[in-house]
């Protein structure tokens, strides 16, 4: 079951590049938007990450960082980021496979990938909004913006 609003966001320490890791604690004091997706190179995932790339300036106005997370390797993410010209990190939940996805309740045991899920985490590391989307549907950004707006109005 997906981690719900009001719960502490599970920690992570995942490769952002083949030689650099990012931790959940690196983002304390800032809002964070972890976006779990099934895999690089699929049409829906490509459209979704491209949309968020276009919206970076809006997320930054809310003092929020976005992080893509899937079970693909850091090398695969590196090539995908270069191909899509992404300007936010994609984290590799690769080894042990799906460990962070499982902690967030969004691992698909049947096919060994992350499910398509969105989270908004506040400055203190508490999940303020979560959404589990059907794998084949791009969830867009409306829910993320609504959650960030709500955090701004009700800090």
pLDDT for 127:
97
Please give the helix or strand (H or E) that residue 149 lies within, else none.
helix 142-153
Percent of the chain with pLDDT over 70: 99
pLDDT for 155:
65
pLDDT for 73:
97
pLDDT for 35:
98
Residue 154 has pLDDT above 80, yes or no: no
Q: How far is CA 61 from the centre of its chain?
A: 18
State the pLDDT confidence band at 153, using cuts at 50, 70 and 90.
confident
User: Mean of the pLDDT values across residues 34-40?
Assistant: 96
- Spot the catalytic one: 3, 45, 91, 117: 45
Under the phi-then-psi rule, with left for phi > 0, alpha for psi from -120 to 50, and beta for the rest, what region is 29?
left
pLDDT in tens, 53-67: 999 999 999 999 999
Number of helical H runs and strand E runs in the chain:
5, 9
Gap between the Cα atoms of 98 and 146, Å rounded: 28
User: Mean of the pLDDT values across residues 12-17?
Assistant: 96
User: Mean of the pLDDT values across residues 11-19?
Assistant: 95
Question: What does the angle CA 73 – CA 50 – CA 71 come to, to the nearest 5 degrees?
Answer: 20
Q: Measured between alpha carbons, how far apart are the two ends of the chain, in Å?
A: 27
3-state helix, strand, coil in the chain (%, to 5): 30, 30, 40
Q: What is the DSSP letter of 140?
A: -
pLDDT for 87:
97
pLDDT for 72:
97
Residue 69 has pLDDT above 70, yes or no: yes
**Full-model pTM:** 0.95
Verify whether residue 76 is a known catalytic residue: no
State the pLDDT confidence band at 9, using cuts at 50, 70 and 90.
very high
Domains and CATH numbers, the chain: 13-153 (3.40.30.10)
pLDDT in tens, 89-126: 999 999 999 999 999 999 999 999 999 999 999 999 99
């Amino acid at each position: 079951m997906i981690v719900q609003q009001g719960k502490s966001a599970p920690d992570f320490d995942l490769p952002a590049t083949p030689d650099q890791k990012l931790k959940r604690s690196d983002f304390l004091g800032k809002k964070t938007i972890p976006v779990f997706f099934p895999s690089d190179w699929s049409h829906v995932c490509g459209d979704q990450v491209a949309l968020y790339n276009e919206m970076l300036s809006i997320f930054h106005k809310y003092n929020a960082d976005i992080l893509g997370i899937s079970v693909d390797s850091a090398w695969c993410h590196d090539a995908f980021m270069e191909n899509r010209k992404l300007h936010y990190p994609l984290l590799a939940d690769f080894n042990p496979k799906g460990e962070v996805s499982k902690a967030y309740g969004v691992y698909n045991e049947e096919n060994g990938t992350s499910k398509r899920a969105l989270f908004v985490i506040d400055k203190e590391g508490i999940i303020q909004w979560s959404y589990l989307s059907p794998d084949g549907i791009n969830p867009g950004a409306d829910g993320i913006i609504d959650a960030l707006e709500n955090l701004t109005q009700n800090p």
